A and B are shown apart, each in its own frame.
Chain A
Amino acid sequence: MEQLNPFFNLKNFSFKALILIMALVPAFIIASVVTFLLYYSFPSIIYNGLNFFTSKIWNDGSSGVILHNNGISYQSGAVYGIYPLVLGTVLISLIALLIAFPVSFFVTLNVELYMPKKIRGTLISFIELFAGIPSVVYGFWGLLVLIPWLQNTVEPWIGTHFSGIPLIGGVFTSEISGRAYYPGQGLLAGALILSIMIIPIITAVMTNSFETAPKEIKDGIYSLGGTRWEMGKYLLVHHSKAATYGGALLGLGRALGETMAVLMVTSALLLVPSNLFSNVSTVAAYIAAQLDSAFFDQSGMTTAAFAEAALALMGVSLLVNVIGRKIAGRGVLRGYQND
């Protein structure tokens, strides 16, 4: 029997080992980030307990008066609660999703079912380009263009026309001392900026899924007298249902973690939003805005609290992304084999 060259065996082994190490790098990075966050947030987890997620107050305590208890150090009177931030994050993300989802659907419908092929490619490239724009650019545009427009035109119009609706009118009512107050910067601005940023993600998943709809199905619907609009509805509700949910979740994952653009068009205040125009902040934006001040806390507890907030944000974002990818990637061509 022919013997294999020992050098070849060694090369083969080295190559396999290298591939294995490279494959493990992403897992290692995620594991190290989680470990780092767990380590740094541990004092906060012990100190704050569940209050961390239910308290509306974030107070670093009296500067310089450091107390020690069971091996944990904190400034006197320190309370850390991220309830307003969690609420702000969830509301901004959900409103962004509510705006982005129908827009993405109509863009997909247009691109896939109405638009001539020549223009279609250009439009898809254009939408993909949207995803590559740095978020600070969106934030800058939001600050200079979007906020004045919201403040002077959109918010007063919404307030005037919708605040009188029974039961839900309060959502559109913003007043200070009995006078209408439209800050521009706040929940609506954050949601709009985020929606622009997640439209390319949702649209990409939807167009991919619409494209994979079997020709037999499309022929079947058209031959029964279905219109393009009915075809779009069918694809959304049946064929692309999983991909649509998945795309929405991927968009939500992006929205949850987005920092810079949101920070620039919202306040960095810990306020529980009371209406659509409220000043509001998100977990990510608040961390970015306030982390430098945390270093003045000699006990390290404020840094630990931010680490815990980051850990929570990372956990939720990862979960939403993993579920989104799983659903978006789920086979939906039931009963059909592509030829």
Chain B
Amino acid sequence: MEPIIKLEKLEVSSGKKKILDGVNLEIHKNSINTVLGPSGGGKSTLLRTINRLTDLDPAFRISGTISFNGKKVTEYSEVELRRRIGMIFQRPNPFPMPIYDNVAFGMRLQSYVQKKDLDVLVEQSLTDAGLWEEVKGELKRDAITLSGGQQQRMCIARALILRPDVIMMDEPTSSLDPTAKSRIEDLMLDLKEKYTVILVTHDIAQAKKVSDYTSLIYNGKIVASGEGGEFLEDSASDSLKSFLGEVSV
């Protein structure tokens, strides 16, 4: 099957520092595609290059090709691209406003939507994000007062309301407790039925639990790729084995 996103010979540098070095990667539809690697390996930059958030900083220089649905990402407007490739960040980032307004934020940016339609979309998104039952009676509550795990699921709902093709998650559980982390992982498995998920993490256990496809990134290079997450130990180089060993402990 044709990959939904394809990276070819992608190189990204900022100043004199090369962050990504000749990355080739295919993202498969309706799957969880995990990019696993140590901190500072270029994982987040990879995601930010796909949805062109790096374009906001003139210090970044980019070469190579990224295609999305067969078209180069530069052929899309930044707005359209980012609405079709949603992104969840390492730390939950609710806006200081009620839950309803947070989830509806993206829709309101796009165009005027009637209140009753917006109500339906907000409910659907919160349901898809597994949060509706917990917050349905308090949509006017300030989102900042939710727990960390709830905030992150609300951010997922906020991305889902735009009905993106792809959801990129940048270490979405790194600031959460084990219970909240487990809920997000289960949610990822549900989400892949409707969406394509790209997960960036340094957590091997998480990669093994949820990944359909895993790529190992080290010093800006993809050093190993394969289905699932079990292959990692066999294919890792010595330096990567030490990283994997550290994280696995």
Chain A residues in 8 Å Cβ range of B83: 224-225
Select the stretch in B16-24, B35-43, B88-96, B234-242 that faces chain A: B88-96
Chain A residues in 8 Å Cβ range of B97: 238
Judging by beta carbons under 8 Å apart, are A225 and B80 in contact? yes
Query: Which residues of A, 24-81, contact B by the 8 Å Cβ criterion?
Result: none
Whether a CB of chain B sits under 8 angstroms from the CB of A148 is no
Interface string of A98-136 (1 = CB under 8 A from B): 000000000000000000110000000000000000000
Whether a CB of chain B sits under 8 angstroms from the CB of A211 is no
Whether a CB of chain A sits under 8 angstroms from the CB of B87 is yes
Query: Which residues of A, 194-238, contact B by the 8 Å Cβ criterion?
Result: 214, 216-217, 219-227, 230, 234, 238
Chain B residues in 8 Å Cβ range of A254: none
Q: How far is the CB of B74 from chain A (nearest CB, A)?
A: 16
Whether a CB of chain A sits under 8 angstroms from the CB of B144 is yes
Judging by beta carbons under 8 Å apart, are A227 and B89 in contact? no
Chain B residues in 8 Å Cβ range of A230: 109
CB nearest neighbor in A for B90: A216
Give the tally of cross-chain contacts (CB within 8 A). Answer: 61
Judging by beta carbons under 8 Å apart, are A225 and B95 in contact? no
Judging by beta carbons under 8 Å apart, are A223 and B96 in contact? no
Q: How far is the CB of A119 from chain B (nearest CB, A)?
A: 12
A224–B96 alpha-carbon span in the complex (Å)? 16
Chain A residues in 8 Å Cβ range of B80: 225
Majority secondary structure, B binding face = helix
Judging by beta carbons under 8 Å apart, are A216 and B89 in contact? yes
Q: Which of A220, A225, A227 has the most chain B CB atoms inside 10 A of its CB?
A: A225
Interface string of B133-175 (1 = CB under 8 A from A): 0000000000010000000000100110010000000000000
Given contacts A217-B93, A335-B96, contact A224 B144 (CB under 8 A): no
Chain B residues in 8 Å Cβ range of A223: 51, 53, 82, 86-87, 89, 159
Query: Which residues of A, 159-177, contact B by the 8 Å Cβ criterion?
Result: none
A238–B89 alpha-carbon span in the complex (Å)? 21
A238–B102 alpha-carbon span in the complex (Å)? 12
Whether a CB of chain A sits under 8 angstroms from the CB of B14 is no
Q: Which of B56, B95, B106, B155 contacts A238 (CB 8 A)?
A: B95
A135–B144 alpha-carbon span in the complex (Å)? 45
A223–B56 alpha-carbon span in the complex (Å)? 11
* B residues whose Cβ falls under 8 Å from a Cβ of A: 51, 53, 56, 58, 78-80, 82-83, 86-87, 89, 91, 93-97, 105-106, 109-110, 144, 155, 158-159, 162
A-B contact pairs, 12 of them (CB 8 A): A216-B89, A216-B91, A220-B155, A222-B53, A222-B82, A223-B82, A223-B86, A223-B159, A225-B110, A239-B96, A334-B96, A335-B144
